[in-house]
């Protein structure tokens, strides 16, 4: 098993349920979803001309679209080598669920790490049972992909980007499709930190007993 890695870096989780927790971020390359507001568009394509050696994606900004192919064994060995103090692995992208994450999450869980996947929900989620799955549903995007029921059902957390009332209506429609007994954490995330969107999210969080995901890392100006 091999994974196309855009970057590996350690910081604080700035969004959702684990906000403020130290984490190692593993950003995988490749995403066909096509979100207009995406701030990591450089991760959309695995351009052969931008393939680099493994050490060139460690602790550096991946904003140029560079990526490296990592075998599972090498990736686990690097993450568990002792150079990171965090024990939270956030697997993001790009779209990480393009790939089977079961071998990686099983290995990291056995090593004593908590894994978290951040996904659009447009692909089946393949991971071990202990992994925290954050689905940030991306509907009506350029890629024309639909939200997968399996991804929603597997979600521990639904983190929904919001700009308008229509987004709230769309979220409620998605939540209505969940099976009885499903109780994921619901967090609203204002798109681009817009004041109007933030106000709407705060109002809806209070009205529905949801959480606010304020992208704290952007306010703190950290990676």
Q: What is the pLDDT of residues 45-84, one digit of tens each?
A: 999 999 999 999 999 877 788 999 999 999 999 999 999 9
Relative to beta strand 2-12, strand 22-28 is: antiparallel
Q: What's the sign of the alpha-carbon dihedral 171, 24, 20, 38?
A: negative
Report CA dihedral (40, 215, 164, 204) to the nearest 10 degrees. 150
Q: Which residues are annotated as a binding site for [4Fe-4S] cluster?
A: 31, 35, 38
Q: Which of 126, 96, 84 is closest to 32 using CA atoms?
A: 96
Which pLDDT tens digit goes with each residue over 136-192? Answer: 998 877 878 999 999 999 999 999 999 899 999 999 999 999 988 889 999 999 987
Under CATH, what is the fold of the domain 2-220?
A: TIM Barrel (3.20.20)
Strand pairing category for 2-12 and 68-71: antiparallel
Q: What is the pLDDT of residue 131?
A: 98
Euclidean distance between CA atoms 169 and 79, whole angstroms? 40
Between CA 87 and CA 96, with CA 91 as vertex, the angle to 5 degrees is 165
Residues forming the annotated binding site for S-adenosyl-L-methionine?
A: 37-39, 94, 136-138
CA gap 21, 153 in Å, rounded = 25
**Binding-site residue positions for Mg(2+):** 40
Question: Residue ranges for the binding site for substrate?
Answer: 12-14, 27, 92
**What is the per-residue pLDDT across 85-136, written as a single tens digit (0 to 9) for each?**
999 999 999 999 999 999 999 999 999 999 999 999 999 999 999 999 999 9
Cis (ω within 30 of 0) for the bond into 88? Answer: no
- The binding site comprises 12-14, 27, 31, 35, 37-40, 92, 94, 136-138
- For the chain, the structural domain boundaries read 2-220
């Amino acid at each position: 098993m091999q994974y196309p890695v855009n970057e590996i870096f350690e910081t604080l989780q700035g969004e959702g349920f684990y906000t403020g927790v130290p984490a190692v971020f593993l950003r995988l390359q490749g995403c066909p979803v096509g979100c207009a507001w995406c701030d990591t568009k450089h991760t959309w394509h695995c351009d052969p001309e931008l393939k680099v050696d493994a050490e060139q994606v460690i602790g550096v900004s991946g904003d140029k679209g560079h990526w490296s192919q990592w075998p599972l064994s090498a990736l686990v060995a690097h993450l568990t080598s002792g150079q990171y103090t965090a024990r939270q692995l956030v697997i993001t992208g790009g779209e990480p669920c393009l790939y089977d994450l079961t071998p990686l999450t099983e290995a990291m869980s056995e090593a004593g790490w908590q894994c978290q996947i951040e996904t659009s929900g447009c692909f089946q989620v393949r991971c071990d049972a202990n992994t925290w799955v954050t689905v940030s549903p991306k509907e009506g995007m350029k890629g024309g992909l639909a939200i997968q029921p399996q991804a929603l059902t597997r979600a521990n957390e639904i983190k929904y980007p919001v700009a308008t009332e229509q987004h709230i209506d769309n979220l409620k429609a998605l939540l209505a499709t969940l099976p009885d007994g499903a109780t994921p954490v619901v967090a609203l995330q204002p798109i681009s930190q817009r004041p109007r969107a933030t106000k709407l999210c705060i109002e809806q969080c209070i009205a529905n007993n949801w959480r606010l995901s304020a992208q704290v890392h952007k306010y703190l100006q950290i990676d």
